[in-house]
Amino acid sequence: MVFWSYCRDFTGTEREEFELRDGATVGELLEQVYARFGKLGEARRSLLVAVGVEYAEPGRRLERGEEVSLFPPVQGG
Amino acid sequence: MRGLMRREFHWTREPWREEQGRWTGEDRGDYGAVVRFEGVVRAVEAGRRIRGLEYTAYEAMARHQFEKLFDGAGQRWPALGAVVVVHRLGFVPSGETSLWVLVAAPHRSEALVACGWLIDEMKRWVPIWKQPVWEDPLPPEPVGGESC
CA distance B131 to B43: 13
CA distance B108 to B115: 10
Band of the pLDDT at B17, cuts 50, 70, 90? confident
The per-residue pLDDT string of chain A (77 residues; one tens digit each, 9 = 90 and over) reads 999 999 999 999 999 999 999 999 999 999 999 999 999 999 999 999 999 999 999 999 999 989 999 999 999 99
Residues of B within 8 A of A5 (CB-CB) are 56, 129, 131
Residues of B within 8 A of A74 (CB-CB) are 123-129
pTM for this entry: 0.90
Helix axes B108-125, B59-76, angle to 10 degrees: 150
Q: CB within 8 A of A8, min separation 6: which ones?
A: A14
Burial B46-61 (b: 16+ CB within 10 A, else e): eeeebbbbebbbbeeb
**Cβ B58–A4 below 8 Å, yes or no?**
yes
Output the CATH code of domain A2-71. Answer: 3.10.20.30
**Cβ B126–A54 below 8 Å, yes or no?**
no
For A53-56, the CB contacts below 8 A with 24+ separation are: A53/B60, A53/B61, A53/B64, A53/B65, A54/B61, A54/B64, A55/B125, A56/A26
Can you point out the beta strands (E) in B19-117?
Answer: 33-40, 44-45, 48-57, 82-88, 90-93, 97-105
**pLDDT value at residue B143:** 56
- What ipTM goes with this model? 0.95
Contact between B130 and B62 (Cβ < 8 Å): no
Q: Which of B119, B125, B131 sits opposite A74 (nearest CB)?
A: B125
Coil, helix or strand at residue A1? coil
**Cβ A54–B58 below 8 Å, yes or no?**
no
**Cβ B56–A4 below 8 Å, yes or no?**
yes
The pLDDT tens digits of the residues spanning B18-37 come to 777 777 767 778 899 999 99
What letter would DSSP give residue A61?
Answer: B
